[in-house]
Amino acid sequence: MPANIMDNDKVVLSGDEPAWHGLGEYFEIPISAEKAHDEMGGSFTLYQKPVGVQFDDGEFIEVPKSFAIVRGETNKDNRKLVFGYTTDHYTVIQPIDIIKKFDERVGVSISSLGFIQDGRKMFLSWKLPSFEVVKGDEIKLYGCLLVGYDKIFSSRINIGTIRIVCENTFMANMNEAEQENKSNRGRGTIYSGKHSNSKLLFELGEWMNHIQGNAEKEQALLQSFFKNLVNKPIKHEKQAQDLIYTAWPDPAPFNPDSIPLALHDKEQGKIDLKAARVEKIRNGVYDLYTGSEGIAIDENYYGLFNACTQYFNHKMISKKDDAFSISWGGRSAEMNMFAEVLKNN
């Protein structure tokens, strides 16, 4: 999947590292959201335009309470784009107003700011306090504001480990948040707003301010989770095998009476493919944990979790862009699912 950044340059990054796609502009020094917006050449203005019927004689009849969401020109694109159609309940919030609200209510450097899908979505992330689980092993957390300008996706504020820099990581951040919503580790979607909320801009500002003010508390929750993994020893290899099998068991056989006889071989073929896949995952994670791949792993739940992330991030071959295999799509779900297994066993 491409980066899909608007105008190929509507992204600014600060701190950490430049993005894999090499687009936009990178600053090693801290930078405010409004300054980042200026550096990318600005964004665009949103309009609500009446929707109606244009007759041959020039008469235009408006459809009551029906509007088009229109993106104005950018500094590189003279087109006006229609993002969708909505009613008069849709609240238009200009990108620059959200950017200024971040500077007003959070007041720290951005980590990333950008627009994707021709401006249909905007992202802004900032770095929260990081911590070491064990010496030399740092966990980074980001506050991430995701805003949509069509009628489908409105706005969310997530806390997670994924720094958004493009469409790939936008979707990965969403996926990570959905997985984290199932647990209680101080991560996931902290706030979700609707376009119909006339106070949306105010609430976004207050929630970002709240997250920043409670960053140390959120940090402590996540640190506690990983510390618990460090403090749970694995005393023998069978214990590691059992935990891995709990996460990736053999697929259940199908009921031969539930499908026609002529389709039995096809159904069994599907199950055989699933069985081969989970067997490959189990062997891959286990081999990394036991050190047969030459990787030193601590003999505790945290070491086993690291073997899992090592496998999905670096060993597993995928048809998707390996530059962002770290928490992309199904891989993210697998790693978060294993975290749940370790937490509950």
pLDDT digits (tens, 9 = 90+) for 143-181: 999 999 988 889 999 988 888 998 888 988 888 888 776
Query: Mind giving me the DSSP string for 226-264?
Result: HHHHHTSB--SHHHHHHHHHHHSPPPPPP-GGGS-GGGH
- Cβ-proximal residues to 126 (8 Å cutoff; 6+ apart), any chain: 102, 106, 108, 109, 110, 111, 142, 143, 212
What is the pairing mode between strands 137-148 and 112-116? unpaired
**DSSP, res 300:** B
- Contact call for residues 251 and 278 (beta carbons, < 8 A): yes
46-82 in b/e form (b: 16+ CB < 10 A) is beeeeeeeeeeeeeeeeeeeebebbbeebeebeeebe
pLDDT for 308 equals 86
Give the Å distances, CA to CA, from 224 to 131, 229, 289, 327. Answer: 11, 9, 22, 21
pLDDT of residue 258 exceeding 90, the answer is no
**DSSP, res 313:** I
Q: How many CB atoms lie within 10 A of CB 26?
A: 16
Which pair of tokens denotes residue 340?
């749940």
- Using CA atoms in the order 204, 210, 211, 217, what is the torsion angle rounded to 10 degrees? -160
- Contact call for residues 48 and 92 (beta carbons, < 8 A): yes
Q: Summarize the confidence of residues 95-109 as an average pLDDT.
A: 96
Where does residue 258 rank: exposed (0-12), middle (13-18), buried (19+ CB within 10 A)? exposed
Averaged pLDDT score across all residues of the chain = 84
Confidence of residue 8 (pLDDT cuts 50, 70, 90): confident
Report which of 203, 32, 208, 200 is spatially closest to residue 106, judged by C-alpha positions.
208
User: Does the reported pTM lie above 0.75?
Assistant: no
Q: How many CA atoms lie within 13 A of 150 on its CB side?
A: 12
Q: Summarize the confidence of residues 278-306 as an average pLDDT.
A: 82
pLDDT for 3 equals 77
pLDDT for 292 equals 67
